[in-house]
Amino acid sequence: MPELPEVEVSRLGISPHLAGQQLLSVVARQRQLRWWIPDEVVQLTHQPILAVNRRAKYLLISLPAGDIILHLGMSGHLKVVASSTLPAKHDHLDLVLSNNKVLRLNDTRRFGAVLWQAKGQVHPLLAALGPEPLTDAFSSQTLINACAKRSAAIKLVLMDNKVVVGVGNIYANEALFKAGILPSAPANSVTAAKLTLLSTVVKETLAAAIVQGGTTLKDFSQADGKPGYFKQQLLVYGRGAKPCVQCQQPLTEIKLGQRSTVYCTLCQN
């Protein structure tokens, strides 16, 4: 599933093509994605697009009446193409624009979502989300407070969207390695100093991934069709049993919360 950097890269890729344009119409070839695409989206016509924003892993296309919420799910991706471009298999939704282009959602597995948030309201999926990791709302003290009374593994706490949004499996692995923290360590056993370092490296890791275009995953590509490049710099994720880049000890791979977790038994504690 695309993580926060990949979603932000998608936002940066599509925004210049959408912001300031008119949304002329919506073409829904398949309305049954993870949830049924609501009538409020399908019936939109001649609406000015005010901005393209992101909340956690959701993209929000802002209109005067509200926001179209897009979630890419496990296999979804967006592309901006000429309006004359014939749809391919699994091209489920088009936002037809006034610049003779369309924003097209392709989703092979249909686990993505297209939802609606009326102006002045907050969709239930967004209401309980924690702070954005790349803002001042997520600080060392935020993380220290969240971990103080929690005995769950620190990696699981870091991936809890009520604590901080968008830190998925890849970047949780990477950040914990850089901070020298064992992923399975109880959150309330990690020192304040290490949690302070962790909050910093989370920001640095996500920011670096965004700059480099997002991590290349099986089903992800940028809006212009180019893949992300951050995978070249992954230090632990996907490297189970390979030598640690710091000490050369073979990396250990386990399951935490049913997600692959890779770490170094010498460099992380």
Quick check: is 57 catalytic? yes
What percent of the chain stands above pLDDT 70?
Answer: 93
Is the per-residue pLDDT at 224 higher than 90? no
Fold of 140-263: Helicase, Ruva Protein; domain 3 (1.10.8)
Task: Return the domain boundaries, the chain.
Answer: 4-127, 140-263
What's the CA gap between 195 and 154, in Å, rounded? 10
Cross-strand pairs, 243: 250
Q: Which candidate in 11, 55, 57, 239 is catalytic?
A: 57
Q: How many CB atoms lie within 10 A of CB 242?
A: 13
pLDDT tens-digit map of 4-55 = 988 998 999 899 999 999 999 999 999 999 999 999 999 999 999 999 999 9
Mean residue pLDDT of the chain comes to 93
Quick check: is 6 catalytic? no
- Whether 235 and 245 have beta carbons less than 8 Å apart is answered as yes
* Residue listed under structure tokens 């020298």: 180
Burial tier of 84 (Cβ tally within 10 Å: 0-12, 13-18, 19+) = exposed
pLDDT tens-digit map of 163-200 = 999 999 999 999 999 999 999 999 999 999 999 999 99
The mean per-residue pLDDT over the stretch 110-135 comes to 96
- Whether 98 and 17 have beta carbons less than 8 Å apart is answered as no
Q: Is 77 annotated as a binding residue?
A: no
Q: Is 34 annotated as a binding residue?
A: no
Q: Which CATH class is domain 4-127?
A: alpha beta
Output the DSSP codes for the chain: ---HHHHHHHHHHHHHHHTTSEEEEEEES--BSSSBPPHHHHT--SEE--EEEEETTEEEEEETTEEEEEE-TTTEEEEEEETTSPP-TTEEEEEEETTSEEEEEEESS---EEEEEETT---HHHHT----TTSTTS-HHHHHHHHTT--SBHHHHHT-TTTSSS--HHHHHHHHHHHT--TTSBGGGS-HHHHHHHHHHHHHHHHHHHHTT----TT---TTSPPP-GGGG-SSTT-TTSBPTTT-PBPEEEEETTEEEEE-TTT--
Q: Which candidate in 34, 110, 203, 259 is catalytic?
A: 259
Question: Confidence band (pLDDT; 50, 70, 90) for 99?
Answer: very high
Quick check: is 194 catalytic? no
Whole-prediction pTM: 0.89
The mean per-residue pLDDT over the stretch 123-129 comes to 95
Q: Is 17 annotated as a binding residue?
A: no
* Residue listed under structure tokens 């890791």: 205
Question: Confidence band (pLDDT; 50, 70, 90) for 215?
Answer: low
Quick check: is 31 catalytic? no
What's the CA gap between 27 and 12, in Å, rounded? 23
Q: Which two tokens stand for residue 28?
A: 């829904």
Question: Confidence band (pLDDT; 50, 70, 90) for 218?
Answer: low
Residue type, position 231, single letter: K
